[in-house]
Structure 1
């Protein structure tokens, strides 16, 4: 129907049906129901099959009522299928799966035969000095279990495991059968608030166990011959070879090479941690992470490149589809890449068939494909962000551009048509392109804000500006990487020439993102909000998208959006800590630390040390601070100086605002006593960190609410004092009436005598760091008579091995390795203790 109005014809837009959108929504709802459904996968799949057959029968009858019944049956079948897919992938395992026989806590020794299904990856510590890591090189791979030895014979077992072996094993290859005698356990989960849950990440890929060997000689290769199946092992090997060739082509420019590999293939090497942090701080993390934007840019570059060789669009579309699928297989095949690849392939198919392109239908089909392949991706950040932003761009992109730039672009179009020159039309196309980029950045930022606050605890006010500045550089770097990749496959020396020619582009990108990250206010850390506020925000955005169909006015939807924002602000106001101090006693892998946070955003780290990777511990502590909405530390207190503590303290202090480091007065003023001290203070000088000495009588004030009184060491302690007397700081933290005593080096006899001589009273005692519990220390603890005793580090390990050690101490005992992070809250009303995991404290 056409309505004539004067000399203009107004044709209402044709609303085509979007059946896959409804199917995708119902499928997602079914997967969410499957997370909590108590019934088995067989029941769900049987219901789906039965209802589907009934739906097919209803399709044969063309009546009005039957059509409605058919739609209902189809919806029930799709929802039940979603429930079954989730349960089959995440809840159902075979009776021989090794995960069913693992102990709930701790490790057990196993001798197993397995097939390597990934390319073994060699990793080594990153740092300018040996002090920066106490761990050595290691080899990691994923394997499929074949058999386990028990009771004198071999038993068939199943399941995939991740294996870590110390050292470099050059003879290890993918698709080889090996035998190993090592320790098996559940993968480590999140034990601190706001940190990465590695166990959940591995369970997404059906890896439910972890094997760790003590020595490389515990692994034996049964057969050097590599089997053809599974193909995933060869695919991973090809990815590794491709990365090595790209790295060889850019030898001499390691950081630029790994940055380009991260952009092109999605692999982030530990050497570019700082570059990745700069992208995150500038609000442009989505430009470094391999996403649908990268696939679209690569697809556009491939299409333009094929125009010089294939003239017919249909043949060009076929070749482009093949190349894009091969490119997807060269990446880790994450949800954003799979989604974009499926969407682009469907666009090319519609072009070949001559069908109209329905973007929402294509996005819905991509969501169904991703979730059918990996249902657990629905709880991951990549899936949530990529589909939220994509749907926002598809639905709101045209509206936003028309509302903001419509009149201006119309005037520019009239001027271009009046001039009627190539240059005028070229300028018009450039203006349209700039407006489109601004629209995409604005909508992408708005759609990602609720998830960014909830998942990453930060707001990036400069994200739109950073995206506009970095997008051209990232696009050029991607095109350069694509040309280098093609050159590597054709002739490797040509790839080196291409890499040298485009090195200034990658260097400019790294330099620009570093300058953008240094702008004050580029990132604002906030506390993570509740999940229901995220749902409310996206519900308000969805109502705005569908307001025309629902007949809602702009004012109504805006009022609902303001209401959701007011609820979020009210939640933050109610849950804001008032005049209370939180102390977090944490454990991270082979390390531990205590973090004190105040209501004014002040924070300090105490006895931060790790026998493993200092980068890992520093990242865990930084994630905890971001979870609390804290940007930087005010102080780092080092109880002792050794490779385990010194490396982690330097990393954490430099990462969290270059916080000053406080250490033992003797260590600070006699820094050249040992080689380890000299290396420690030299590393702090390289990082431009200030060092201060603490002695008894000093009062360290952190913010307005935290006061720490130093009880040990004495100021007159000589530099030649025994090692057991030095390298120990005894702190008494107080907020109003409750006090918490931090004690390191429990075997120090002088500290025990000092505790016995002074009438110190503390509601809670925190034992951290190395040392064993002996009779004098136990007697001192009995005299202190604390209400709660928190164990971390070697003390917690010794207590876990023999819980009779602290039987004489009449306190409530919390071992961090058992209950996860322990939170102590100090306020005027007293002190309260909460644990991150559900394990209860041990009462004595």
Structure 2
């Protein structure tokens, strides 16, 4: 019975499967999954692949894991259900004055003018209620600082302190764009359902909490990490300290965002996260030191067992380092009692223990990547390495190549599912940098930190050696990451595709192992035959053992079958890659998406032939005054980098055929900087003016640097992007001079155009007001043009200027007679957009209205038969 050889592994597989089913399926789906598991277990028993005891244990594992997750989901609800219902009814602007009392249960994050920490509240008083409520509610607290000295005040707060916070309770934002980041779901997986926003440190009243509570003990760990991080700031220059803190201590808050982006492009972010390799280096170094002082094996193992959890805590206790630490402790304990088995058993035990501790771990990307890659390395490296040449001199390089290749193959589907990009130079970067950083830079950093504790000058001397290593690393990463021709963008594949790829790899590793074993057996047989004395003459053929000839006769067809199977798997892999890279290859539907970018505009259009148009890119406005540089955050929210680019990449936009910049106001263009830096753009239409603003100058200069063709859009321009897609520019009118004018007030010079997809027409209006609307109508009537479709009305109009009161006039609506209209406005904008007068005029015109502030992303699908909402 094959399955009985590894009972723990099968139990863990079933446990993870049950937890995943409960996390992703409805109650009925979980019951069906459990039933399917029971049938598979019965089949395994009937086919004599497993004993009935193991089959029963596997079914129990599915039930236990699913039941635990469903029980956790049922308990993972707010203790303020009435307030939640009111907030959902009031919409995204809902905020309720409240005061919470509880214990700080996270490290303090002080970043610019914002402080964040988590509170386990035991009392909440909402304004309007008679008395405070005694309850248990986790809150994420946001403090907006008013003055720079408040940063030092907030930095004194510690995990474990008791606090009273007065502010406003709000709901976390959900995903308002299809496929966008769902902050509410993310916080819910950490059992947080409310944000408590306050202004200034005066809103927080801290007091010491119990000194022996779990939070207080972890607070001391936070202080130790902060103290060690401060030592790193002394040992390394500002350009390197954040990198070294992430590498050695797992403190990633101070890592330069641009530097992180370069590592991310090459698939190197795992180096910056404490993981199994870091734990292995820690155990190796500490074990070597303990052997040097001649401790016994038993004492060394005991010290290592006690030391690994401390290292896990000091390095931040992320899921990846928890997995590695737990595997290490289990392995060391098993070695101490003489029961150590292979790595898969340790991994299985770690998975079950972690999910039993917190079933929400299964949704964590770090958890998923850590376990998937570790399984791949354990099962894939041995057969791949045996299939490679067995050189003596280059053994270490071949071992490293096997590990790198397997890690890349196994992590590839998860990487493109979550991060939507893969760089062809990632293999080279990992091959060179992983050993260099892991066995040179990281040990140097750790040892210099340890030495600097009693002897700062000595630590600086050793750290100085790694300065050059870091400089070389940064130059190497920067140059490789800039080879954009080898960087590919992938749409997020379906989950079945990820599972199919990993299954394909598992089967391939098994077949490669079988082929290698067979080849090695033949080589041994040939070697033994060559060592024997062979009689001269043809009669020697008769002396060949009949058994050996029979074995060869059987092995040859088996070898052929294995090779054919591998070739078939290779063909399937190619088909999977083609599907993942071009999932919409045969899709002839057009799509128009008015993205929710807050108070701004960004529209993505996919044509029937698979070309892409982007109109504007949104922009996060900054109201910082001179002298308030301290308010700047290390990685400030920028809508292009955080919203527009991830959405485009998730949808497989590898190239933008046409970028239309309606005008140069910040809420339309700031997000485009990230677009130009990430996604190739073939050509740009803009309104033909210049604005004396930093973001406008920077954007146009970046376009010129990238050698993108820029065209001044003028009324009368018409362009057929493909057979079913026609663009017509209605405004602005051609300038009378050849010089490019400088224009500070850009609204009335917005590019206004129609886009016809099949028989449906969309009107995009920028930020024009009613005066310009009249001018456009006059211009169209004077030239005798007819921009209307044959039906006499357009399909969808993007409402001018986010629904400003003085836009979208009655005559404008009568002229275009739109069937539907969309207002792109921020959910919490202070302008009152869209204005009630505009909504009233649209209602009188019997035009259907969609709003990004209320409805999120508005997406239309267009086919030959018509238009429909998705």
Shared topology, TM-score over 0.5? yes
Q: Which moved more, 1:178-187 or 1:330-339?
A: 178-187
Q: Which moved more, 1:22-31 or 1:585-594?
A: 585-594
Shift of 1:388: 1.9
> What is the CA–CA distance in structure 2 between the aligned matches of 1:500 and 1:591, rounded to whole Å?
48
Question: Alignment partner for residue 429 of structure 2, among 454, 459, 466?
Answer: 466
> What is the CA–CA distance in structure 2 between the aligned matches of 1:659 and 1:266, rounded to whole Å?
40
Judging changes above 3 Å, is the alpha-carbon distance between structure 1 residues 164 and 637 closer, same or farther for their aligned structure 2 residues? farther
Q: Deviations over 1:373-412 (max 9, x none)?
A: 332222333222222221122122222111222xx33xx4
In structure 1, the partner of 2:143 is 165
Shift of 1:294: 3.0
Judging changes above 3 Å, is the alpha-carbon distance between structure 1 residues 776 and 604 closer, same or farther for their aligned structure 2 residues? closer
In structure 1, the partner of 2:316 is 332
Q: Residue 366 of structure 2 aligns to a residue in which SS?
A: helix
Counterparts in 2 of 1:270-285, with a 5 A limit?
A: 272-285=256-269
Question: Alignment partner for residue 820 of structure 1, among 836, 840, 856?
Answer: 856
In structure 2, the partner of 1:89 is 72
Shift of 1:703: 7.8
Question: Alignment partner for residue 627 of structure 1, among 650, 657, 676?
Answer: 650
Q: Report the TM-score, using the length of structure 1 for normalisation.
A: 0.80
Q: Residue 754 of structure 2 aligns to a residue in which SS?
A: strand
Question: Alignment partner for residue 773 of structure 1, among 794, 805, 808?
Answer: 805
In structure 2, the partner of 1:21 is 9
In structure 2, the partner of 1:638 is 661
> What is the CA–CA distance in structure 1 between the aligned matches of 2:276 and 2:597, rounded to whole Å?
33
> What is the CA–CA distance in structure 2 between the aligned matches of 1:578 and 1:531, rounded to whole Å?
20
Counterparts in 2 of 1:696-715, with a 5 A limit?
A: 696-699=715-718, 707-715=726-734
> What is the CA–CA distance in structure 2 between the aligned matches of 1:349 and 1:30, rounded to whole Å?
28
Judging changes above 3 Å, is the alpha-carbon distance between structure 1 residues 502 and 270 closer, same or farther for their aligned structure 2 residues? closer
Q: Which moved more, 1:108-117 or 1:264-273?
A: 264-273
Judging changes above 3 Å, is the alpha-carbon distance between structure 1 residues 382 and 455 closer, same or farther for their aligned structure 2 residues? same
Counterparts in 2 of 1:276-355, with a 5 A limit?
A: 276-355=260-339
> What is the CA–CA distance in structure 2 between the aligned matches of 1:717 and 1:176, rounded to whole Å?
69
Work out whether 1:810 is the aligned partner of 2:846. Answer: yes
Shift of 1:790: 1.6
User: Structure 2 unaligned runs (5+)?
Assistant: 39-47, 515-557, 623-635, 781-785, 789-793
In structure 2, the partner of 1:202 is 187
Please say if residues 473 and 508 of structure 1, whose CA atoms lie closer than 8 Å, have aligned partners that are also in contact.
no
Judging changes above 3 Å, is the alpha-carbon distance between structure 1 residues 473 and 571 closer, same or farther for their aligned structure 2 residues? closer
Question: Alignment partner for residue 447 of structure 1, among 366, 386, 410?
Answer: 410
> What is the CA–CA distance in structure 2 between the aligned matches of 1:570 and 1:660, rounded to whole Å?
28
Work out whether 1:505 is the aligned partner of 2:490. Answer: no
Q: Deviations over 1:794-816 (max 9, x none)?
A: 59964678665642232232212
In structure 1, the partner of 2:419 is 456
Work out whether 1:123 is the aligned partner of 2:142. Answer: no
Shift of 1:439: 0.7
Q: Deviations over 1:651-682 (max 9, x none)?
A: 332333477765432x32xx45xxxx366415
> What is the CA–CA distance in structure 2 between the aligned matches of 1:82 and 1:800, rounded to whole Å?
48
In structure 1, the partner of 2:620 is 610
> What is the CA–CA distance in structure 1 between the aligned matches of 2:466 and 2:82, rounded to whole Å?
49
In structure 2, the partner of 1:216 is 200
> What is the CA–CA distance in structure 1 between the aligned matches of 2:59 and 2:827, rounded to whole Å?
56
> What is the CA–CA distance in structure 1 between the aligned matches of 2:797 and 2:808, rounded to whole Å?
16
In structure 2, the partner of 1:184 is 169
Shift of 1:111: 0.6
> What is the CA–CA distance in structure 2 between the aligned matches of 1:734 and 1:621, rounded to whole Å?
23
Counterparts in 2 of 1:32-111, with a 5 A limit?
A: 32-35=20-23, 36=25, 38=27, 70-93=53-76, 96=79, 101=84, 103-104=87-88, 105-106=91-92, 107-111=94-98
Q: Deviations over 1:165-186 (max 9, x none)?
A: 2225432312344444433333
Q: Deviations over 1:236-266 (max 9, x none)?
A: 6326514641452245x32322122222333
Q: Deviations over 1:51-83 (max 9, x none)?
A: 9xxxxxxxxxxxxx9x95544443343332212
User: Structure 1 unaligned runs (5+)?
Assistant: 1-13, 52-64, 125-136, 413-427, 835-844
In structure 2, the partner of 1:734 is 756
Q: Deviations over 1:276-311 (max 9, x none)?
A: 222232243433343323332333333334444454
Judging changes above 3 Å, is the alpha-carbon distance between structure 1 residues 123 and 657 closer, same or farther for their aligned structure 2 residues? farther
Q: Report the TM-score, using the length of structure 2 for normalisation.
A: 0.77
Q: Residue 798 of structure 2 aligns to a residue in which SS?
A: strand
Judging changes above 3 Å, is the alpha-carbon distance between structure 1 residues 156 and 439 closer, same or farther for their aligned structure 2 residues? same
> What is the CA–CA distance in structure 1 between the aligned matches of 2:375 and 2:641, rounded to whole Å?
36
Q: Deviations over 1:301-349 (max 9, x none)?
A: 3333444445433333333333332221123322221111111222222
In structure 1, the partner of 2:677 is 654
Q: Residue 732 of structure 1 aligns to a residue in which SS?
A: strand
Q: Residue 153 of structure 1 aligns to a residue in which SS?
A: coil
In structure 2, the partner of 1:5 is none
> What is the CA–CA distance in structure 2 between the aligned matches of 1:703 and 1:300, rounded to whole Å?
61
Work out whether 1:143 is the aligned partner of 2:131. Answer: no
In structure 2, the partner of 1:155 is 133
Judging changes above 3 Å, is the alpha-carbon distance between structure 1 residues 780 and 514 closer, same or farther for their aligned structure 2 residues? same
Judging changes above 3 Å, is the alpha-carbon distance between structure 1 residues 680 and 491 closer, same or farther for their aligned structure 2 residues? farther
Q: Residue 252 of structure 2 aligns to a residue in which SS?
A: coil
Counterparts in 2 of 1:342-741, with a 5 A limit?
A: 342-405=326-389, 408-409=390-391, 412=392, 428=393, 431-475=394-438, 476-544=440-508, 554=562, 555-556=564-565, 559=568, 562-563=571-572, 566=575, 569=578, 575-576=584-585, 578=587, 581-588=590-597, 592-598=601-607, 599-611=609-621, 613=636, 615-634=638-657, 636-657=659-680, 662-665=685-688, 667-668=689-690, 671-672=691-692, 677=693, 680-681=696-697, 684-685=700-701, 688=705, 693-699=712-718, 707-716=726-735, 723=745, 726=748, 728-741=750-763
Judging changes above 3 Å, is the alpha-carbon distance between structure 1 residues 148 and 355 closer, same or farther for their aligned structure 2 residues? closer
Please say if residues 600 and 802 of structure 2, whose CA atoms lie closer than 8 Å, have aligned partners that are also in contact.
no
Shift of 1:823: 2.5
> What is the CA–CA distance in structure 2 between the aligned matches of 1:86 and 1:138, rounded to whole Å?
34
Judging changes above 3 Å, is the alpha-carbon distance between structure 1 residues 587 and 490 closer, same or farther for their aligned structure 2 residues? farther
Please say if residues 533 and 564 of structure 1, whose CA atoms lie closer than 8 Å, have aligned partners that are also in contact.
no
Q: Residue 170 of structure 1 aligns to a residue in which SS?
A: helix
> What is the CA–CA distance in structure 2 between the aligned matches of 1:692 and 1:346, rounded to whole Å?
64
> What is the CA–CA distance in structure 2 between the aligned matches of 1:397 and 1:519, rounded to whole Å?
29
Q: Which moved more, 1:144-153 or 1:173-182?
A: 173-182
Shift of 1:751: 2.5
Judging changes above 3 Å, is the alpha-carbon distance between structure 1 residues 432 and 510 closer, same or farther for their aligned structure 2 residues? same
Please say if residues 699 and 710 of structure 1, whose CA atoms lie closer than 8 Å, have aligned partners that are also in contact.
yes
Q: Deviations over 1:575-598 (max 9, x none)?
A: 325555433211145655222344
> What is the CA–CA distance in structure 2 between the aligned matches of 1:830 and 1:94, rounded to whole Å?
43
Judging changes above 3 Å, is the alpha-carbon distance between structure 1 residues 679 and 570 closer, same or farther for their aligned structure 2 residues? closer
Q: Which moved more, 1:366-375 or 1:722-731?
A: 722-731
Q: Residue 807 of structure 1 aligns to a residue in which SS?
A: helix
Q: Residue 205 of structure 1 aligns to a residue in which SS?
A: coil
How many equivalent pairs are there? 756
Q: Residue 670 of structure 2 aligns to a residue in which SS?
A: helix
